[in-house]
Amino acid sequence: MPRLRKRLRDSLLIVPLIGLIGGWALASGAIQLDTFIYELDERWQDVDLRDLWFLRTAADLGAAAKAALGTMSSAMLTFIGVVFSISLVALQMAAGQFTPRVVRIYIESWVTKTTLAVFLCTFLYTLRVQKEYASGNDANDTVVPYVGASLAMGFMVASLVLFVVYVNSTVRLMRVTHVMDRVTRESLRLIETLPGADGAGEEPAHTCDLSQAAVLAHRGRPGVLQAVHEHRAVRLAERQGLTLHLVPQAGDYLCPGEPLFLVCGGGPDPGPDLQQAVVDIGVERTTEQDVGFGLRQLVDIAVRALSAAVNDPTTAVQSLDRIQVLLAALARRPLGMLVHRDGEGVVRLVVTTPQWPELLDLALSEIQDYGIDSAQVTRRLAALFDALDRSVPDGRRAALAARRARLEEAVRRSQPDVERREFALHADRQGIG
């Protein structure tokens, strides 16, 4: 099920295809119901079901319904073209102005998938219903599309509502602040799944002699390590009496033949089935288990804003606002070596995550390098260090102090004038207001 949900989330193909299938199936059902109503009407001559509708004759209703269905079908084809065009513009803007890493947000949007699926469903439904119904010269020989026309009108209303929702959602995603907030929320959800909150130190994993461990190499196509199904890995390792050490971190790119697991224990060789069962390999990084990917996206947005072509330090400051949130959330989480145990407390899986100094370097080093000449950026960095210094545990303050010292040294080299240097290092949460 997790892999199926991931495929549904990452694909822009499956949900629209379901919409097409649904349109064909609903059209078939509507045709059968209208035929049944027509036969029932023929059986019970004293009850005129057509009196329930504002059009009294079958010939008139059939002609009007066919014209309405034709209009709906043409309109839906136009709507599909509009949605496709808006999506392409949004994707191009996301890749060009933000970072290619956030394009996945548009692909994963359920609003986009649902809107396209309903539009395709409505288009195919109205097209088939229009083909099946025809108004005859004799009113008594005409199957009146009671159900078919009513469902078509319902689909049209739903499509218009979804179109408004889709435009609103897409316009929001074209604004950089909403994209950064989306990335921050995703990363915070991942951080909340990390173990324990109070211990700042990394949990040791003295499980076996790794120098004597067997190496299970990556087999299959190259790609990014997106996730490890930890519970499944623990069950398999417990069943075979093994302890597994994951060599790469989530987000690392794997080439065939590179070490994937170090296997300790006297059980049988787990073989290539272990990788297929517990590891997900894809073409890009995701926020599923990749702790640093959220920071990577925010840094990319800030660096692009600081480039000479864009020159937008305010966006970099807004990115630092979100980076501070993520660093504060990571400050009290165990990082580095994380272990997973079976029901008896035996270590079965060891996973490596980035250390605190590595996360600090990822979050701040590039922004400092590209924004060192901008007082707005350096002042916001100084405010970030002040805020984190109050929340970071004692064991992690040394790395924070070292990063602050690098900022001060870089500003001294960049700003020889003492007054300008003091201005650039004055802590300001808004940069320069």
Lowest mean pLDDT among 25-34, 147-156, 201-210: 201-210
Task: Please report the pLDDT score of residue 52 as a whole number.
Answer: 45
pLDDT tens across 301-340, in order?
A: 999 999 988 889 999 999 999 999 999 999 988 888 888 8
Lookup: tokens for 310: 């864009």
Mean pLDDT of the region 270-280: 77
Structure confidence at residue 139 as a pLDDT band (50, 70, 90): very low
- Residue bearing the bigger pLDDT, 316 or 82: 316
Task: Please report the pLDDT score of residue 58 as a whole number.
Answer: 47
Where helices occur in 1-57 by DSSP H, the ranges are 2-10, 14-43
Average pLDDT value for the chain: 82
| CA–CA separation, 424 and 381 (whole Å) | 10
Per-residue burial over 55-71, b if 16 or more Cβ lie within 10 Å, else e, is eeebbebbbebbebbee
Mean pLDDT of the region 297-304: 94
First to last CA, the chain: 48
Task: Please report the pLDDT score of residue 357 as a whole number.
Answer: 93
Do 83 and 115 meet the contact criterion of CB atoms below 8 Å apart?
Answer: yes
Task: Please report the pLDDT score of residue 325 as a whole number.
Answer: 95
Inform me whether the pLDDT recorded for 155 exceeds 80.
Answer: yes
Inform me whether the pLDDT recorded for 207 exceeds 60.
Answer: no
Task: Please report the pLDDT score of residue 271 as a whole number.
Answer: 63
Task: Please report the pLDDT score of residue 92 as a whole number.
Answer: 79
Phi and psi at residue 113, to the nearest 5°: -60, -45
Q: Residue 280 is inside which H or E element, if any?
A: strand 279-282
Task: Please report the pLDDT score of residue 200 as a whole number.
Answer: 39
Q: Where are the beta strands (DSSP E) in 342-425?
A: 347-352
Where helices occur in 174-229 by DSSP H, the ranges are 176-192
Mean pLDDT of the region 227-245: 86
Task: Single out the residue of 190, 248, 187, 244 nearest to residue 223, CA to CA.
Answer: 248
| CA–CA separation, 129 and 198 (whole Å) | 63
Question: 243-246 and 347-352: which strand pairing?
Answer: parallel
Lowest mean pLDDT among 179-183, 271-275, 425-429: 271-275
Instruction: Report the predicted TM-score, pTM, of the whole model to 2 decimal places.
Output: 0.82
| CA–CA separation, 180 and 188 (whole Å) | 12
Q: What is the domain partition of the chain in residue ranges?
A: 2-174
Structure confidence at residue 201 as a pLDDT band (50, 70, 90): very low
